[in-house]
Chain A
Amino acid sequence: MDTKVMIYSDITNLMKVDFLTGIQRVVREIVIRLIKYDSLKLNLLMYDEAENAYYLLDNNKFLTYFFNHKGEKKDVITDKVINFTDISSGAVFFDIDSVWNSRLKRSWLFPLLKQKGVKIVTQLYDLIPITHPQFAHENTCMNFMIYVGANIEYADLIIVSAKATADALDELCDKLGKERKKCVVVPLGADFSAKNSDEEVPEDIIKIASGRYILMVGTIEPRKNHSLVIDALDSGLAELGINVVFAGRIGWNVEELEKRIREHPLLGKNLFFLEKPNDAVVDLLYKNALAVAFPTFNEGFGLPMIEAFCRRTPVIASDIGVLREVGGEFADYFDPYDKESFIRAVKVLADDENTYLQKKALLEKFVPFTWDDSAKMFLSAVCSVNENLVQVPEDTRVKQMVVLTARNDDILATLPYLEKYMPFITEMVICCPDRNVDELKAAYKGRFELKFLTDSEVLDGAELPEDHQTRNFFLRCLILRKEIIDDVFIMTDDDYRPLREIQIKDFIDSNRYKAYYCYDLKKWDGTYGNPTSFDIGMSKTCQFLSEHGYPTMMYASHQPQIIDKKIFNEMTEKYPHVITSGTDEWSTYFNYGVGTYPDKFDVVPYISMCWPGAKTDWDLYVVPSEFVFENHYSVLYENGQVFEGLSDRFEDISEELISEKIKRYRSELEIQFDVRRVYDDYCSEYLASKNEMPSFTIVCTHDENQFLISTPEYIKLRAGSFTRVHITFDKDIKDWIGSECVKLNYWFTTNQNEILIPLHILNIDMEEPEFMLPMRAPNDCFESCQFHFRVILEDKNFERTIHMKVVTI
């Protein structure tokens, strides 16, 4: 078992920028160290907008470029694509770069990661765009609020560089009425990587560095308060023979300041502005400065201060909490709003050599936090989210299956399969109507110890709900309160048949319960226009889960699944109304479990064959990697169906028979994948030529007092197939025009108006106006035929028809 912690880290900005800011320097130093730790499997990622996915970076080449300063940055990028859904349960997503301006907003990404219980750890440098928005560009404030909001909602751990930032985050959470986040303080290092040996210091810089000067390092921006230092220069520093050197690039919202600098009468004499200095220049300037000025209004840490200390250069810093915390006794402090306060602090160092020497001596005692120290603490923090995990105990035994059935024939037909292929199961609890028990006892001769929970025992006088879905969940909730049910058991239906020998590992692996999902509830359409009890149950489940902040994967995968009784009952105790709400038992339980105990579950694609029963029932959301169970439908064995001619009797079971069934079902799925491929290729072709995706939209236009149908210029479909096409109806057709009876008609004809596919009628549910329409294409291939699409507002005697070109291939 691999015990390495799997970490994914988005370092897109580091890969894209040419000039390293403070944050990118931190990212570089931490990442080059984390790569070397054996206890981690570090996956470095770069976001690609065109793919809307990540590209994996090569760790060795990353070191070559960023540590050894060799090679090219583009060589670091591999061609391996990592989709968001590839980041699996148990992994840690570690955000350390300045990601808030990324198009991949964390408000979109984090809920997706949480669907699988991925842990999120974020390095939060500061909260300045929220606490002091006047110091940030408005766009940065907007993006930063989204980033912080998503982290408050979803992050498992926040790492900060100073306690002051943790305190600010606590204050913010309190104001938002949110639980305070778990925070760890990890100071930043100061010993930056060996300088690029090719870097030289120009002569004119050497001359500047030989003078007496106050140095400011960092981006020229309002927050850093460069104005105060220029004011001080004008008010006396120049006369004292003290120069001012600014080393850094021009930032945001400093047009006036930039003008002041560039047009300053003392520029080049007492005031020096060095844009984009290399590391060698910065190093020299630090070492030779009289003092480093740090008059900032707010900081997350204050790296320039530490960098100065490392070079035994005195620092004159703003008297604010975070700088006091980081600088301690080693810096001198002043009021950043008071120029005279700054000048006095400079004079103390400049005028009195003894004081200056004492300060230098004190600085000899400064022991910087190294990047190695910092990286160790980062490692410890990131791994801490995977410590003391609440997981499934090693000695968990599973011997019991629980089935809810009213069909003796079906369960009796299924039991032999379970006996043969699930050797670890010794007990079967059958929950059934009272009248079914005697027949089952008489008919069953197998090895399982049968135990019964009858409806009367379970209901104990309570009334059984009428709706199928509600009844199922209601019964299961009552069943799970019975002592006869083991703490951990396999829940199944009477028609789920294993296709090979099943091991415990198929249900519990690496101290996690397998949670087999088949869809995303948010995307489930079901049988549109005529929703089944199942579909309604899925919709209710999605609503319940969304309202309570749980993931929304669909676990009604039509296969046996492992259930933890304690977690199930905890869920129903916490949300008692859910027992009679008609939600789906599987999805409610697993999403509650994944959301509450993410370390106990491993969310994986399902492994059930014949779900969907027919290839055209719905398009797969995820493809099973193998078929381990058959969701048995006897109709599939009839003439004209996928298993025609094959036996579904246990007595006839053989490896060859099972292989044949799997082969045939896979072929059916391949047909549907091909149908989808044709449609997806058409969408790509349409996008490339028209700059937009083909869409069917029926919209109410208020100001023109009409509605219009908007369809693509043409459509391409696989001949003889069912292709699902997205349709959007405007709810205002009901609200504005007042129609509640909306129908959709479609049919296909040749260009000469001969019917190819006759009229299909669909009632539109104006409460669910977006859906996937399964369009049946003509059987033959046509270079051009006609698709007719009519919308009728029956109660308003209002209709519109549109005709469009269809190509069937």
Chain B
Amino acid sequence: MDNNIYSALYDITQENIREAGGEFSVSKEAFAELSTIHPQAANIFHISRTNSNKLFLEKAYIHLLKRFADESAYRNWEGRFSLFPCQFQRLLTMTLITSDEFSNKNVKVYDNFYSIHNQYGGDPSNSKKAVEVKKSEIKLHINNRLRKIYNRLPEAVKKVLRKILKRR
């Protein structure tokens, strides 16, 4: 499947709506999700692969509730966009999956590593059989923004950075 055709269609239609004085509220990235959704399944691991809480909100609605996030969804959640992605994703995922709307959707959820039913789902420190985790020897004292920049770097550059930081 050519995902580019969908991106190109989005650009063309966005241009048309702008000429008429309007604008799409659904982002191009969220729209791209629509072209790949399975009619009956949602894979939390796959949709969690983003550091943008807004984008995750859009993806979660599309995959779990099979619809776009509406205005009330944005209103309800934008106050929590500043949370760490992991926290935001966990909260949103569990809220949607336990909602009445979801219970009528006939959607099978896969790879929900946030699940309260799983071992180490939710907060690991609360797990009954938690094993002490040996922390990584690499301690990266960088803030969230720099992490985002790091994530976008080519692999070769990341390797060099890790070596440099390890030496320190």
Contact = CB atoms under 8 A, between A and B. Distances in A.
Indicate, yes or no, whether A interacts with B.
yes
A145 B106 contact: no
A708 B129 CA distance: 13
A641 B80 CA distance: 60
Given A142-B31, A697-B113, A800-B133, A704 B9 contact: no
B120 A710 contact: yes
A138 B26 contact: yes
A75 interface: no
Given A176-B5, A710-B121, A134 B31 contact: no
A738 B134 contact: no
A49 B105 CA distance: 8
Interface stretch (A358-366, A530-538, A585-593, A687-695): A687-695
A153 B106 contact: no
Contacts of A702: 51, 85-86, 147, 151
B84 A703 contact: yes
Contact of B119 (A152, A709, A735): A709
B136 A798 contact: yes
B129 A802 contact: yes
Interface string B96-133: 01100011011011111111011111001000010101
B124 to A, nearest CB: 6
A691 B112 CA distance: 11
Interface in A273-328: none
A690 B45 CA distance: 17
B87 interface: yes
B108 A692 contact: yes
B106 to A, nearest CB: 4
B136 A705 contact: yes
Contact of B124 (A691, A695, A708): A708
A107 B1 contact: yes
Interface in A422-450: none
A695 B40 contact: no
Contacts of B144: 703
Given A133-B20, A153-B2, A104 B39 contact: yes
Contact of B26 (A104, A142, A153): A142
Contacts of A804: 119
A48 B25 CA distance: 30
A692 B97 contact: yes
Interface in B12-34: 12-13, 16-17, 20-22, 24-26, 31, 34
A801 B121 contact: no
B131 A801 contact: yes
B68 interface: yes
Interface residues of B, number: 71
B28 to A, nearest CB: 11
A149 interface: yes
A699 interface: yes
A706 interface: yes
Contacts of B159: 738
A614 to B, nearest CB: 28
Contact of A130 (B9, B67, B84, B131): B9
Contact of B13 (A130, A549, A736, A796): A130
Given A130-B12, A692-B109, A697-B45, A145 B133 contact: no
A369 B77 CA distance: 54
Contacts of B109: 691-693
A567 interface: no
B17 A134 contact: yes
B137 A797 contact: yes
Given A549-B2, A692-B108, A738-B138, A138 B35 contact: no
Nearest to B16: A133
A799 interface: yes
A796 B6 contact: no
Contacts of A692: 97, 108-110, 112, 115, 117
Interface in B145-168: 147, 151, 155, 158-159, 162
Contacts of B40: 49, 52
A153 B1 contact: yes
Given A800-B133, A802-B120, A153 B38 contact: no
Interface string A711-742: 11100000000000010101000011110000
B36 interface: yes
Given A107-B35, A130-B13, A712 B118 contact: yes
Interface in B56-87: 66-68, 84-87
A711 B84 CA distance: 23
Contacts of A139: 67-68
B73 to A, nearest CB: 13
Contact of B34 (A143, A705, A801, A803): A143
A702 B144 CA distance: 9
B5 to A, nearest CB: 5
B161 to A, nearest CB: 10
27 contacts: A49-B105, A108-B37, A130-B13, A133-B20, A134-B20, A138-B68, A139-B67, A141-B24, A145-B9, A145-B10, A146-B6, A146-B35, A149-B6, A153-B2, A153-B5, A178-B5, A549-B2, A687-B108, A703-B87, A703-B144, A703-B147, A706-B124, A708-B124, A710-B121, A738-B138, A798-B134, A802-B129
Given A145-B9, A738-B158, 11 more contacts: A107-B6, A130-B16, A133-B22, A141-B13, A153-B5, A176-B8, A695-B45, A695-B111, A697-B112, A708-B113, A802-B131
Interface of B: 1-2, 5-6, 8-10, 12-13, 16-17, 20-22, 24-26, 31, 34-40, 45, 48, 51, 66-68, 84-87, 97-98, 102-103, 105-106, 108-115, 117-121, 124, 129, 131, 133-138, 140, 144, 147, 151, 155, 158-159, 162
Q: Give the 8 A-B residue pairs with the shortest CB-CB distance, closest first.
A: A710-B113, A703-B84, A134-B20, A692-B109, A52-B40, A133-B17, A697-B113, A50-B106
